[in-house]
């Protein structure tokens, strides 16, 4: 008989990324990166993934921020080199500035925080890690009833930014069939 933990991990691994995220998707409106309350006529322009709403506590998102001082060609080359070095079964999303979101398992490795910014810094890119370790804010060492929002922009989401005094629409694009992947443990 297999240990209970092993069965639990196999059950989690048997779901696609989209199945693991289905209850964590929030609509974005009017080309913003933040979820907005429904009300007046607002155009839905994509989705956010709120990791605090996931049932799955093993999925995480590794955010590769390629330095913006690089040319478009350099950014594309760095991203492509990263992609070929990754296992084929991770979900990949190209961010609006040419970086990558990598959807993968954390293999139940315990993290002390939901968000790690610049966990690694290289000459070409920085790495952030987003996972859901705690659902509620902590004040004075005690868990409160206030939920920690922990959001990542989902693929096929359009946002608007101002560049050189011009409003431009940018999009997070799926690099592979990210939502259909089964992420296996390493």
DSSP string of the chain, one letter each residue:
---HHHHHHHHHHTSBHHHHHGGGEEEEETT-SSB--S-S---EEEEEEEGGG-S-SSEEEEEEEE-TTS-HHHHHHHHHHHHHHS-TTSEEEE-TTS-EEEEEE-TT---SSSEEEEEEE-SSEEEEEE--S-SEEEETTEEEEEEPP-EEEPTTEEEEEEETTEEEEEEEEESS-GGGPBPPP-
Which range, of 109-113, 156-160, 166-170, averages the lowest pLDDT? 109-113
Q: What percent of the chain has pLDDT over 90?
A: 34
pTM (whole model) above 0.75 = yes
Q: Is the pLDDT of residue 129 over 80?
A: yes
pLDDT value, residue 82: 96
User: Domains of the chain, with CATH numbers?
Assistant: 4-180 (3.30.2250)
pLDDT for 92: 94
Whether 186 shows a pLDDT value over 50: the answer reads no
**Per-residue pLDDT reduced to its tens digit, 50-90:** 988 887 778 899 999 999 999 999 999 999 999 999 988 88
């Amino acid at each position: 008989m297999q240990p209970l933990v092993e069965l639990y991990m196999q059950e989690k691994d048997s779901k696609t990324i989209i199945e693991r995220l289905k209850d964590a998707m929030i609509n974005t409106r009017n080309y913003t990166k933040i979820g907005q309350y429904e009300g007046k006529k607002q155009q839905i322009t994509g989705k956010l993934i709120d990791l605090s709403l996931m049932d799955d506590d093993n999925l995480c998102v590794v955010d590769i921020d390629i330095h913006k001082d690089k040319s478009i060609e350099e950014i594309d080359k760095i991203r492509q080199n990263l992609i070929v070095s990754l296992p084929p079964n991770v979900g990949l999303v190209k961010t609006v500035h040419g970086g990558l979101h990598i959807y993968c398992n954390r293999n139940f490795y315990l993290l002390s925080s939901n968000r790690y910014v610049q966990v690694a810094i290289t000459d070409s890119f920085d790495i952030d890690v987003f996972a859901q370790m705690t659902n509620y804010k902590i004040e004075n060492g005690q868990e409160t009833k206030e939920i920690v929002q922990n959001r990542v922009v989902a693929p096929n989401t359009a946002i608007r930014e101002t560049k050189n005094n011009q409003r431009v629409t940018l999009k997070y694009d799926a690099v592979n069939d990210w939502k259909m992947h089964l992420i296996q443990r390493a």
